[in-house]
Amino acid sequence: MSVDKETVRRIARLARLKLEEERVEPMMEELNGILAWVEQLKEVDVEGIPPMTSVVEQRLKMRDDVVTETDHADALMVNAPGGEDHFFVVPKVVE
């Protein structure tokens, strides 16, 4: 399988990654180089093989359903670009 320019534009959009038009073709070639290489996995018969879900056999831990982290609002805002008070700021989304 390989990707065309339209697919590259579509996945860039899905990934929310701006791709300038002149970068679409080189990116297509790079991705196709990698995809052509992973193609060899098709040689392997995986019929009836379960997909791996965890490398270490362990049951997920349970914990008490209690609040352990509280009042971090100030700390959470320290790194927010354009944050004001305890609000994250984004461009207007509703007209």
Partner 1 sequence: MSDLTDFTLAEARDAVAGKKISAKELTQGFVTAMEGARALNIFVTETPDIALKMAEASDARIAAGTARPLEGLPLGIKDLYCTKGVRTTAGSKILENYVPQYESTVSQNLWDNGAVMLGKLNLDEFAMGSSNETSAYGPCISPWRAKDSKTALVPGGSSGGSSAAVAARLCLGATATDTGGSIRTPAAVTGTVGIKPTYGRCSRWGIVAFASSLDQAGPIAKTVRDTAILLKAMASIDDKDSTSVDLPVPDYEAGIEGGVKGLRIGIPKEYRVEGTDPEIAAVWEKGAEWLKAQGAEIVEVSLPHTKYALPTYYIVAPAECSSNLARYDGVRFGHRAADPKDLIDLYERSRAEGFGAEVRRRILIGTYVLSAGYYDAYYLRAQKLRTLIKRDFEEAYKKCDMLLTPATPSPAFAIGEKIADPVTMYLYDVFTVTVNLAGLPALVVPAGLNTAGLPLGLQLIGKAFDEATLFRAGRALEIAADLKAKPQNWWSQ
Binding of partner 1 by 76 (CB under 8 A)? yes
Out of 21, 22, 49, 71, name the contact with partner 1 by CB under 8 A.
Answer: 49
Out of 66, 67, 73, 90, name the contact with partner 1 by CB under 8 A.
Answer: 90
Least Å from the CB of residue 27 to partner 1: 7
Binding of partner 1 by 41 (CB under 8 A)? yes
Binding of partner 1 by 67 (CB under 8 A)? no
Secondary structure (DSSP) of the chain = ----HHHHHHHHHHTT----HHHHHHHHHHHHHHHHHHGGGGGS--TTPPPPS-SS--PPPP----------HHHHHTT-TT-BTTB--------
